[in-house]
Each structure stands twice: as structure tokens, then as C-alpha cells.
Chains A and B, each alone.
Chain A
């Protein structure tokens, strides 16, 4: 079996999930998205609450990507190679 050679190492599964991590970069690097006052939320101009909101969104995205890509042991339980 192919993965016997890599006992003790794991490849993150479903690597395409990693592309989600680009969203926070797009969200905050493109300044025209948020350099404005309106709409104001609880007294916060948009510029401020938009960026604070992205802290939460990026944390959620990272957590999702972690769950989806978590590396699994790819060899047998009692790794024979060691």
C-alpha cells in the first residue's frame, strides 16, 4: 500500500480547503471596501466595526479549515517503520 512508506507522517487532507484562508486577505487588504463612515453600528463608524468583524470571521474560517484539513495518521497504528 502506498501509504505504508509514510508511517508516522500525515498529509493534510483536502488541501483545497486552504484556499479559504485567502478570504481575510481580500477582505482587509482592499481598503476601498471599508474606508467609509456609514453605516454606523452602535456608534462605531463602518471602518472600525468592519475590521473588528473580520477578526471574528477570520477566526471562524481558520477553525473550519483546521477541522477540514486536520492531518490524520496515514500509516498503521503501530507504525512498523520505526
Chain B
């Protein structure tokens, strides 16, 4: 039942990027014993490398598998991924060059480094760091889901220990080259990954709609109630508020993730980041087209084809896109497309584990365990933690059931967005007090988690009841609002009570662009 040709092509690409991953250590040679070099590639990536790195980082196996799966299962609501990626770039354009400038001037490696200096509060920095690490774990696990579905689709069993082996091998290789090459490895592999993704999506857009009788026919097979969002009625805002808050919440959360911050900080100037914000929408377009693969999967009827029945049973809607490729592409190209998904999982997984390792090293280990680390010791701790994080992710995915991978990511989003007041508002103003931000953060985490739990962790759309009217919305946004209110109220109280405020170790001019004269 194994698909030999596709497997051969898949393995070929996999071996290729593995070699690339180890070669990357010698690329733009730097002293890899420095955390700046291992964990941020020496902050030397220009516009093009940053474009590939951020694209490879933000548009992951999640993109390829879970977004079309959601559209396949839920229809128009799943399309929120598109407005989400539209909203990200204008926001990041304004905010994140500032973070880059201050990080460059002071040698910050993580967002929590900045928060620490800005508020002179190591507890607040710890909260930011731990949130980042904890939110990243399910995100890495989500990448593994992508690999697992693809390995299954190639005809291998993914049940039992033998079934887990390919996944374990893939991650062992990933861990080895991330350990030796640091951020340079995913930066180099990202180029291969992105080229494969573009090739695959262009081929899919040419081949599949033609076979299905054009887009008009594809849309006509979608049940009408799925084609649009449910309009508001007398009792509830229904699909409208859910869609808008999902897009807004996900967009605000994205660049707060440690792996996004790592990719941002590894670029070589604020202008490189800004330029990328107008170039990255190329990926959003691909994402929009990918989402439509969900409808193509519906129109093609792959779900009812007996040869795919066992896979849909095992992987659910996540199998929609692999089934579509298996059905319409020749075997060798199935290998290419699956390699795109597989490698698409490795790049972000590598960056995420590096980012989590940087956070642990800088904001937990150096602050609370060993305050006198040399740069070499710092890097060694980070390398070791990047290994531990990956093992953790593998255990996470092997122990948990494989349904609706996208919800795992949404849960991470509920937590990570709670660092927005400290980080993003902190880049602009010091009016909020560190105690207010800490209590606000705790409130946000509490409210968000409680909402998710009350939904039995099956979804993240929490119906808020306001004066008898129901407003369904992304729990992350509701929790962020609670966070902001508490942060502001406590900060005002601190002022009123005249409590001593903490120092600010940054200066206003630190936030300005660095310009090479």
C-alpha cells in the first residue's frame, strides 16, 4: 500500500534539506558559541533571507493542512485565516521595527529581555518568557501533525511504536542540525520549503479547478449555509463577531510568538522588516488559495472514495488536502507536495525550538538559576534546551489525540496575546505599571483559559452575553480586553496610592531607527 515513487521523492528532499541544515553552520560564518550568532544568525539577514525565513516561519504545515481542513469542515468561518494575514502586516510594520532597534542597541535576544529592561521587573519578564515557551509547545506539536498526516498518506502506518518511528527520526535529524547550526539552518532550509510550497500551490491551482469544472462549479457544490457567515439576528451577532475577532485576535497574537520575534530580531535593520511587511502578503495570497483547497476537496468528493476512507477515519478533515493531491497529482508530484508539507513543518519547528530555548536561557536560567553565565555557557544551555523542547513536542503529539490541530494553535494564541500590553504598549509608553501589567496578564490567562475550558477545549469562540444579546467571539480577544482593563485599573491605583515606580533602563532615543550613514 506504500506509495513508492512519492516516498522516494519525499525522502530525497528530506535528505537534501538535512545536508543543507548541517552546511548552514558555515554560512555567513560567525562565532556559534555566542547566543546572538546561534540563536539570531548574528542579526545579519537581509531583505530576501528575512522574507524566506519569516514566510517559512509564519506559513507552516498548519497552513497546508489545517486551514483547508477547517474550510473543508466549517466553510466560510475557516476563511478567517485570510483577513488574519491581511491584518498582520500593517500592524507589524508600525510596531516591530521599534523592537528591533531597541534590541539591537542593547543586545536583547528575546521580547522578555526588552520587557525586563523597560519595567525593571524580572517577574513580569518571567511571565512573558513562560507564556512564550508554553504557547510555543502546542504550536510545535501542530507542526508534527502535518508531518504525521503526510507520512500516513504516503502509505505508512502511523499507529504504535513502529508507526511513530518516522516522526521520531525526522525530529531527531531536525534536533541535530538545529543544535549545530542554530537559526542559520531553518533560514537556509526555508528557501527550499518556500519554493516547494509555491510550486505545489501553483500546480494545484492549474490542475485541480480545471478537472473540477472551474471555480464556479467548485463553489456551487458547497452547501449554501457554509458559503457565507451566519448573519446576525435578534438574539446574536452570530458569525460576524466570531469571524472578525478570530482575524483580529490571531493577527495581534502572531508577532508576539517567540518564533516571530526571533525571525524579526535576526534581520539586519528596521527597514528590512518594513520592506518585508509589503512583500510578505505574497504568502497571504498563497494562503487564500490554499484555503480554497478545502472547497476543492469538498467538490471532488474525495471523502467518499473508498481508497481514502481509512485515512479520513484516522486523520479527519486534516486528510482533505493530502487526499486531493493523491487523487489529482502523479506520484512523483505527490512526493514534491508532501515534501513541501513535511519541510514546511521542520522550518518553523526549528525556529520555535530556538526561540523557546533563547527565552529559557535569557529570562529563566540567567535570571533565576545561574546569574553569572559566560556567553559560551549561555549558548550551551540554549542548545540543550532546544533539544528538550523538541522531545517535549514529540511526547505531546504522541500522547494526545490527533483531531482539529488548529484548535491547539488557537489555545496557544489565547495565552500569547496576554503579553501584548507589556510588550507592544511598552514600546510606546511607560504609563502602565509593571504590577498592573502582571496582574492584568494573570487575569487574561485565567479568563482565556476558563473560557476555553468551558468550551471543553473544542473551540475558542466564546459566546459573550451582553445585556441579553449574544456576541460570539475569539476567547483570546475577550481575555485581552479583561487583561487591559485590569492593567489600567491597577496602574491607576498604583499612582493614586503613590507607590514607588520601577526604573526604566531604556532611553527614548533607543527606539529610533538605526541608520547606516
Chain A residues close to B by CB (< 8 Å): 6-12, 18, 21-22, 24-25, 27-32, 35-37, 40, 42-45, 47-48, 51-52, 54-56, 58-63, 65-66, 70-79
Question: What residues of chain A lie closer than 8 Å to B94, measured between beta carbons?
Answer: 18, 21
Residues of B within 8 A of A7 (CB): 517
The contact sample of 17 A-B pairs, CB cut-off 8 A, is A7-B517, A8-B515, A9-B509, A9-B515, A21-B90, A21-B94, A29-B247, A31-B229, A32-B240, A35-B229, A43-B214, A43-B218, A44-B219, A54-B83, A55-B288, A59-B279, A71-B271
Residues from chain A with a CB closer than 8 A to the CB of B79 are 47-48, 51
Contact at B83–A28, with CB atoms within 8 Å? yes
Q: Which of B492-517 contact A (CB under 8 A)?
A: 509, 512-517
Q: Which residues of A contact B231 (CB under 8 A)?
A: 35
Residue of B nearest to A9 (CB): B512
Residue-wise, chain B 21-47 has the 8 Å CB interface mask toward A (1 for contact) of 000000000000000000000000000
The dominant DSSP class at the B interface is: helix
Neighbouring A residues of B517 by C-beta, 8 Å? 7-8, 73, 75-79
Are A10 and B513 within 8 A (Cβ)? yes
Interchain CA distance A66-B231 in the complex, whole Å = 37
Closest 10 CB pairs of A and B: A43-B216, A43-B215, A21-B90, A62-B278, A10-B515, A59-B281, A28-B83, A63-B278, A9-B512, A71-B513
**Is residue B228 within 8 Å, beta carbon to beta carbon, of the partner chain?**
yes
Distance in angstroms between the alpha carbons of A20 and B219 in the assembled complex: 33
Tell me if B240 and A58 are in contact (CB < 8 A). no
Q: Which residue of B90, B91, B218, B243 is within 8 Å of A31 (Cβ)?
A: B243
B428, chain A: closest CB distance, angstroms? 13
Q: How far is the CA of A6 from the CA of B240 in the complex (A)?
A: 47
Q: Which residues of A contact B279 (CB under 8 A)?
A: 59
A65-B93, A70-B271, A71-B270 are known contacts. Are A24 and B86 too (CB-CB below 8 A)? yes
Cα-based distance from A38 to B271 in the complex (angstroms): 40
B512 touches which of A6, A37, A66 (Cβ 8 Å): A6
B426 to chain A minimum Cβ distance, whole angstroms, is 19
Interface status of B85 (Cβ within 8 A of chain A): yes
B271 / chain A contacts, CB cutoff of 8 Å: 66, 70-71
Query: Which B residues, 229 to 248, have Cβ-Cβ distances below 8 Å to chain A?
Result: 229, 231, 239-240, 243-244, 247-248
A58 touches B90 (CB 8 A): yes
Q: Which of B87, B218, B228 contacts A36 (CB 8 A)?
A: B228
- Chain A nearest CB, measured from B276 CB (Å): 10
Query: Given A29-B248, A58-B90, do A43 and B514 touch, yes or no (CB 8 Å)?
Result: no
Q: Which residues of B contact A21 (CB under 8 A)?
A: 90-91, 93-94
Task: Given contact pairs A51-B83, A59-B281, enumerate 4 new A-B contacts (beta carbons under 8 Å).
Answer: A7-B517, A58-B89, A60-B278, A62-B277
Any A CB within 8 A of the CB of B106 = no
Given A6-B509, A71-B515, A73-B517 in contact, is the A61-B90 Cβ separation under 8 Å? yes
Q: Are B278 and A51 neighbours in the complex by a CB distance under 8 Å?
A: no
Chain B residues, CB < 8 A from A60 = 278
Contacts of A44 in B (CB 8 A): 215, 219
Given contacts A10-B513, A59-B281, A77-B517, contact A29 B244 (CB under 8 A): yes
